[in-house]
Amino acid sequence: MRAPVLQLDNVGRRIEGRPLFSGITLTIHAGERVAIMGQSGLGKTTLLHLAAGMDVPDEGSVTLCARPISSLPEPERTQWRARHIGLVFQDFNLIDSLTVSENIELPLWLNHQRHRQKRVAAMADALDIGALLDRLPSALSGGEKQRVAIARALVHEPAVVLADEPTGSLDEDNAQKVLALFDQVTQSTQAAVLLVTHNPQAAATCERLTHLQHGTLVDGPLR
């Protein structure tokens, strides 16, 4: 039996006093890929940020790699997140003053990991951005930025990859490459992947599909 790496237990979040979602319960195991679909504005990004420990729920709890991150003090939560989460932000969140190489290296540096240049180069090769390593983010296309964001999320081999529409800015070829890479990391490092997507083909690469609708998360087939 694979170990649970991320557990949301009855999680709820209010925005400006109104409930966005509530009663969300989800367990994801090592090596598992789960997709979340749902209309724009229903709270998928908010849910991913709760799962990452970047935000805390108004109700319920989030457990990441056996620690209840939603009740940890902020510095410990940040440290635990840096080690165990790789987050591909919907709007990339690259650091403008750092080069592509430095952006990708950041999680390795934060976690005091070794062989950094080699690992950055390998990840950049896998995403076909090896020629861009010395550029600043301002000199990249949207699809190139997205691949840098993905490289940064995977480079430190996190237990949980949270990916917010990671193929949204990519052409068919690069989207396939990214999905294949997620497949590869689930097999090689037993990472769990939680994928938010509007793309049915991307969702179909996951073992489980869920839909955020009517303020809660329901399991369901592709529709």
Ligand X SMILES: Nc1ncnc2c1ncn2[C@@H]1O[C@H](COP(=O)(O)OP(=O)(O)OP(=O)(O)O)[C@@H](O)[C@H]1O
Positions that interact with Mg ion (CB under 5 A): 44-45, 90
CA-nearest of 85, 95, 94 to 49 is 85
Question: Considering CB distances under 5 to 8 angstroms, the limit depending on partner class, which of Mg ion, ligand X, none binds residue 75?
Answer: none
Q: CB-wise, 44 or 119, nearer to Mg ion?
A: 44
Question: Closest distance between ligand X and the C-beta of residue 4, in Å?
Answer: 24
Q: CB-wise, 6 or 88, nearer to Mg ion?
A: 88
Q: Is 44 in the site for ligand X (CB under 6 A)?
A: yes
Question: Considering CB distances under 5 to 8 angstroms, the limit depending on partner class, which of ligand X, Mg ion, none binds residue 73?
Answer: none
Alpha carbons 187 and 192: distance in angstroms, whole number? 9
Neighbours of 85 (CB within 10 A): 25
Q: CB-wise, 130 or 168, nearer to ligand X?
A: 168
Among 4, 22, 30, 45, contact with ligand X (rule: CB under 6 A): 45
Question: Considering CB distances under 5 to 8 angstroms, the limit depending on partner class, which of ligand X, Mg ion, none binds residue 15?
Answer: ligand X
Question: Closest distance between ligand X and the C-beta of residue 13, in Å?
Answer: 9
DSSP code for 170: -
Question: Closest distance between Mg ion and the C-beta of residue 166, in Å?
Answer: 12
Sequence-distant (6+) residues with CB within 8 A of 127 are 147, 148, 150, 151, 177, 178, 181
Q: Is 101 in the site for ligand X (CB under 6 A)?
A: no
Q: Which amino acid would we find at residue 190?
A: Q
Residues 13-42 that bind ligand X (CB under 6 A): 15-16, 20, 40-42
Question: Closest distance between ligand X and the C-beta of residue 8, in Å?
Answer: 15
Q: Is 218 in the site for ligand X (CB under 6 A)?
A: no
User: Which residues contribute to the site for ligand X (CB under 6 A)?
Assistant: 15-16, 20, 40-46, 90
